[in-house]
Amino acid sequence: MLTDNDSQAMHLVQVAQDGDYAAIIKLYQRYNLLVFRTAVLLLGDHAHAEEAAQDVFEQFAQRVRTYQPARGAFTAWLYQVTINMCRGVYRRTRLRAWLSLDRVLRSGFDISDGAPSPLQQLLRDEAHRQVWEAIQRLPFKLRAVVVLRYYHNFSYAETAQVLRCPIGAVRSRLLAAHDRLRNDLDEVYNVLPTD
């Protein structure tokens, strides 16, 4: 997931580090959706996510020379910049308006896997909405771990690499997030198992 075995991307990074603005634009085109999607998941608001994504690439253009391949994959570095930018936006705005799941689905992040009956779809949509809202209520530090682990399917090691923390910290943050989500959703459904 976080390996840079794409030689074309690494070539573009090297050319961008030499000051080629066209390479920066190509990298923007290649990674813009990844950055925007991560920002939407972290911030829960399209307008703030668009602003954060734009700021990420402005910062990227200014700091591309600071990326060091020996320290980790380029995508890990890009995720770090994105998470730090979103953390700043979150702190400034203290977002309280949460993005409903139906807006996420309309945005091209459709997670449906078949054609359920209308009643099944309604129940599933409501369950997804409740989970999405519960995730948006998590503190930013816990939300970042949940987004990387479950929305981007990162391993514990990859999540630790992006967040620049030990794997044990990732595990403890996930446990804390699970506890908060369980408590939050238990109030709504009172049916989740307690393990």
Give me the residue spans of the domains in the chain. Answer: 1-98
pLDDT at position 66, please?
A: 84
Query: What tens digit of pLDDT does each residue of 120-155 get?
Result: 666 667 777 888 888 888 999 999 999 998 888 888
Per the listing, tokens 């908060």 go with 180
pTM of the model: 0.61
> Are 42 and 53 within 8 A, CB to CB?
no
Per the listing, tokens 């209520």 go with 137
Fold classification of 1-98 is Rna Polymerase Sigma Factor; Chain: A (1.10.1740)
CA 160 to chain centre: 14
Query: Which residues of the chain fall short of a pLDDT of 70?
Result: 1-6, 93-124, 187-195
Question: What rounded mean pLDDT belongs to the chain?
Answer: 78
